[in-house]
């Protein structure tokens, strides 16, 4: 720790608290990925985070709370995505990048697999996840509306349904990939499925163009 950091006494306690929380979250995610949510104990998390269980127990009330903190971080990301929707110029590229970020980036297909599994079997987590998924759908809907304004998205299907399709394809890819033991190329699975989605969501002229290109 640098001298400057040490000298900032007023915010120090708060900062240390945040550092600790961050360490706990990272350790928890690593353990969830490695050995699954169910078999991970709070003790393992505090140990891996090198946090005394006695001292910091208030920070680690339960595994459920750790998962809910993760949801909170994603919620911030979705809110950001929703706010910037009106600045999107290439809706296809934007959604594709979003899909990749959600599923493969953060480097953690395993954590999403665990969360889906838990959300489907544990009511408390399920409810929180439902609300998170709706938030994400809201953001995707705003982006698709931007696509409507820019004539990139078809007008004859409500954007809410297209946003739902988008999530169906993401979850389906994630679940099938996990069921297959995670041995395949997730990125390729995702991209193939995204093309199927976009082919159905894009304005019709765009797919007519593809057809012309193919006829040549």
Q: Which residues bind a copy of itself (CB under 8 A)?
A: 36-38, 113-114, 116-122, 126, 129-130, 133-134, 161, 164-165, 167-173, 175-176, 178-181, 189, 192-193, 195-197, 199-200, 204, 207-208, 211, 214
Nearer to a copy of itself, 44 or 178 (CB): 178
* Contact yes or no for 103/190 (Cβ under 8 A): yes
State the nearest-atom distance from the C-beta of 50 to a copy of itself, in Å.
Answer: 27
* Contact yes or no for 193/173 (Cβ under 8 A): yes
Nearer to a copy of itself, 60 or 109 (CB): 109
Nearer to a copy of itself, 76 or 161 (CB): 161
Nearer to a copy of itself, 11 or 172 (CB): 172
State the nearest-atom distance from the C-beta of 15 to a copy of itself, in Å.
Answer: 36
State the nearest-atom distance from the C-beta of 209 to a copy of itself, in Å.
Answer: 12
State the nearest-atom distance from the C-beta of 192 to a copy of itself, in Å.
Answer: 6
State the nearest-atom distance from the C-beta of 97 to a copy of itself, in Å.
Answer: 19
Nearer to a copy of itself, 8 or 192 (CB): 192
């Amino acid at each position: 720790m640098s001298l400057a950091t040490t000298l900032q006494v007023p915010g120090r306690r708060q900062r240390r608290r945040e550092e600790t929380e961050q360490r706990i979250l990272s350790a928890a995610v690593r353990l969830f990925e490695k050995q699954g949510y169910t078999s991970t104990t709070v003790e393992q998390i505090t140990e891996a985070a090198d946090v005394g269980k006695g001292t910091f127990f208030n920070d680690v009330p339960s595994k459920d709370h750790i998962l809910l903190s993760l949801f909170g971080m994603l919620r911030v990301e979705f809110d950001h995505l929703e706010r910037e929707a009106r600045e999107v110029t290439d809706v296809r590229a934007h959604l594709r990048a979003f899909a990749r970020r959600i599923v493969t980036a953060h480097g953690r297909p395993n954590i999403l697999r665990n969360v889906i599994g838990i959300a489907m079997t544990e009511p408390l987590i399920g409810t929180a996840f439902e609300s998170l998924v709706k938030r994400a759908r809201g953001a995707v809907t705003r982006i698709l509306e931007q696509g409507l304004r820019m004539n990139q998205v078809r007008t004859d299907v409500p954007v809410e349904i297209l946003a739902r399709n988008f999530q169906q394809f993401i979850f389906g890819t994630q679940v099938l990939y996990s069921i297959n033991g995670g041995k395949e190329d997730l990125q390729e699975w995702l991209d193939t499925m995204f093309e199927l989605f976009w082919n159905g969501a894009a304005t019709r002229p765009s797919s007519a163009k593809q057809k012309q290109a193919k006829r040549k």
